Chain A
């Protein structure tokens, strides 16, 4: 591997090595080809694997498909509500961990991280059983929309606020407490200092983690599968039902819609985070 270097290249310019470039291209192909194919075939006339013609028919069908529509609106509603609460909960948890020392703090940190680490299926099942046992599962069937989604919302908040806590906490680590001290020195109260100094600093992380929570909720399948009932089906769960029955281009169309929404939210989040972090 000690081949002579090329003019202008250093020995650590790994990104220019041909085999790395080839690997990168191959992986990108592997990652995006299935998705691209899915999107392309959503415009296909029929569901065979062969291209037979361009049409928007699948989108029209999906749009008029009441169940799909209902499922999508459920997903969006759940995502919005759970994002709101998990951002607040996560921010408060992050502040607690950042600012205070208290007994069993290390254990508490691990404790709050559990939802991130425990397999989704275990969490989904335990919540489902819990809701059944407490009668919540049965009760919400009769509640008016959107209250019948409340089980799912509770579950989504539970698994997404730890993510918010992690993101906000890592932002807080970079905060210079002397700014707080300066604020108090100039006469501000704790609350004023919090609102005028700390919150603006946290803002990019709050936005980014809110979008993270939104995406996690919108995309969630496993936990939602177990906590939803027949009247509270979400978009991914609906798609799963359709997949079990075989390939259907309406699935492609519906998936493409979800992809577009998700990517838009993600790209906005990245733009907002860009000046603060370096890629993570």
Chain B
């Protein structure tokens, strides 16, 4: 399609482009910039006491130094590795599921996809709470085990519980892009591979996987980033021993009221996010295949 040059339709262009841009500026860029400044600020000393509302702006890196402290790096690290494991599990589960939907008889396809995606539409909090209430020590699972004389087991308040919770919440986010990419894949590539003598397994690794890589990467990003910033799941299912950086941010902000520090932590989280995105961009440029 041939695009119009904006200069030829200045008025139309400005009318269409301004509202969204203005909104982004006002409610995204400026707040973020503000957060950025705050992360380099400290609480002002008023009348010899540390104020809770006034700040000296842009005067210190002490927040980042503190954020780089061991206890916080541990939290960041926890977020990264629980996120990685959860993402890997999601990928391992979602790929065969997406294949199943794509290769099912066309009448069944919308229904199967719907069944997988529907939970996505239910509130994150509710889903996490549902997990919590059935796996707690007096929950359904333990009650059922109790009938056969097992347990009760402490199934929550550990990192596997957090990972399970993350998989539970974000699995649909992996299924959708995978489905979208596999669906666009030309079947005759797979047929050609089989015809030329490859087994199903070889066909998958040499043909299907490389050609669907863009979709895989999109799915990984869509799951990993929210996992990095999660605090609900780790709070409800993991308890204080399993807090990660998201919890720390929430804590600094809502409870400890140390906004500059919370801001610094937020930015560290965002940098981690951007690193993930850059990795994705590099990968996408190198792999050819079906567009996601």
Contact = CB atoms under 8 A, between A and B. Distances in A.
**Is A in direct contact with B (CB under 8 Å) within the complex?**
yes
Interface of A: 1-2, 11-15, 20-21, 23-24, 27-28, 30-35, 37-38, 41, 48-50, 88-90, 92-93, 95-96, 99-102, 111-112, 114-115, 117-123, 125-130, 133, 154-155, 157-158, 161, 165, 177, 190, 215, 218-219, 221-222, 226, 236, 239-240, 243, 247, 251-252, 255, 258-259, 262-263, 266, 270, 274, 278-280
A279 B110 contact: yes
B168 A34 contact: yes
Nearest to A15: B104
Given A38-B129, A126-B266, A279-B179, 13 more contacts: A1-B199, A12-B187, A13-B103, A14-B103, A15-B103, A37-B130, A38-B134, A49-B133, A114-B24, A122-B32, A122-B229, A126-B28, A252-B133
A127 B139 CA distance: 38
B1 to A, nearest CB: 6
B205 interface: no
B35 interface: yes
Contacts of B125: 221, 236, 239-240, 243
A128 B122 contact: no
Contact of A33 (B103, B134, B229, B232): B134
Contacts of A128: 253
Nearest to B250: A121
Interface residues of B, number: 96
28 contacts: A12-B190, A15-B108, A23-B100, A28-B116, A31-B171, A35-B127, A38-B130, A49-B134, A49-B143, A92-B20, A112-B20, A114-B28, A117-B225, A120-B226, A125-B35, A125-B253, A126-B32, A158-B27, A218-B123, A239-B125, A239-B129, A240-B125, A247-B136, A255-B129, A259-B122, A259-B123, A266-B118, A279-B110
A125 B266 contact: yes
B171 A27 contact: yes
Given A34-B168, A119-B229, A129-B31, A219 B24 contact: no
B156 to A, nearest CB: 12
Interface in B227-259: 228-229, 231-232, 236, 246, 249-250, 253, 259
Given A23-B96, A31-B171, A96 B249 contact: no
A21 B199 CA distance: 21
Contact of B30 (A89, A114, A130, A279): A130
A31 B262 contact: no
B122 A100 contact: no
Contact of A101 (B4, B17, B266): B4
Interface stretch (B6-14, B43-51, B67-75, B282-290): B6-14
A129 B35 contact: yes
Nearest to B106: A278
